[in-house]
Amino acid sequence: MGSIYGKIFQISTFGESHGAAVGVVVTGCPAGVDFDMEFIQSELDRRKPGQSRITTQRKEADSVEVVSGVFEGKTTGTPIAMLVWNGDQRSKDYSHIADQFRPSHADFTYQEKYGVRDYRGGGRSSARETVARVAAGALAKLVLKQLGVKITAYVSQVGTLKLTTPVEQLDLAVAETNAVRCPDTTLAEEMFTYIDDIRKQGDSVGGVVSAYITGCPVGLGEPVFDKLHAELGKAMLSINAVKGFEYGSGFDGVELRGSQHNDIIVKDEAGKVSTVTNHSGGIQGGISNGEPIYFRVGFKPVATIMQDQDSLNNSGEKIVVSGKGRHDPCVVPRAVPIVEAMSAIVLLDFYLRNRLTKLADVL
């Protein structure tokens, strides 16, 4: 069950980093959705490796194949299967750690839980699995676009370099014009140099991906255990290397008083209800309130580094693990489309659940 997410718009991913392919089966997608193959491929292109010298140099076309659920350019309402074949595996790069536990990887935990593990690039625990999520998320985006929902993620921090400009003052489209995916071009250049220097040292660095969602209707979220922010948090924390999630004012909000933090509700001349501030991050009581939804996702430094590290082997003996293979020195630039994809999957699932809730009210 750990590879399935969603209640109505449900995805089931499969495949390993060095297996034949990775893919996803999507159920619950409404029939009649225009299946824009070019858009879905473009989303995968944003995530694929080898985009610049600060990303892994593994060469994968990540070309998606649609196996079922689409006919004459439209979804049929039946399960949609999408497949991406792996083409540039170098399993020999991992043969030296077949019986070794790499620090901060899933090697030890997978071995203890299952009694067996695929050591080739981490197998199922590899971020290669996110190819499937981006494909499914692209489909969810196509549906949400028809509803007026826009999801934009961007890099707001790399190491100690932080973007401090308020999101309302940023041109988020700028993020897609540079390799780091930061909407501030000057800061993006600094981040690129910083990541590249760390790469040359055989090390890695973490960062933050921020998301900003507009056009979300009021009413998404299911109290009490399926609150919208709780599901967004779960979705983000399921992404490889994620160590933290905060929405709205987040941890900074603890420094404010209630009189400062409360979002005052107003109504304009047209009768539209809104809030003067948005410390709530577009979510109140676990339900979307129509204001922009925003959150931050913290990613740890990539665990594989090109340096020797002390560890243990399967027999519990002390060893030295040597870093080999092709890895991102910083994961956040390629994580941007993954964050967007998981956001889209969560929102569409809640939208479809909302339709059933309202139908039940009528009946």
Q: List residues forming the annotated binding site for NADP(+).
A: 47, 53
Residue 362 has phi, psi (to 5 degrees) of: -65, -45
Q: What pairs with residue 108 in β-bridges? A: none
69 in helix, strand or coil?
coil
* Distance separating alpha carbons of residues 232 and 296, to the nearest angstrom: 11
For residue 107, count other CB atoms closer than 10 A to its CB: 24
The binding site for FMN comprises 124-126, 240-241, 285, 300-304, 326
Residues 183-194: b if buried by 16+ CB within 10 A, e if exposed: bbeebbeebbeb
* Distance separating alpha carbons of residues 6 and 343, to the nearest angstrom: 12
Complete DSSP assignment for 282-349: TEETTEE-SSPEEEEEEEPPPS--SS-EEEEBTTS-EEEEPP-S---S--HHHHHHHHHHHHHHHHHH
- Long-range pairs for 312-319 at CB < 8 Å and ≥24 separation? 312/100, 312/101, 312/108, 313/99, 313/100, 313/101, 314/99, 314/100, 314/101, 314/111, 315/99, 319/100
Residue 142 has phi, psi (to 5 degrees) of: -60, -40
H or E stretch at 12: strand 10-15
* Distance separating alpha carbons of residues 196 and 138, to the nearest angstrom: 30
| Angle formed by the axes of helices 228-237 and 332-362, nearest 10° | 150
The binding site comprises 47, 53, 124-126, 240-241, 285, 300-304, 326
Per the listing, tokens 């194949």 go with 65
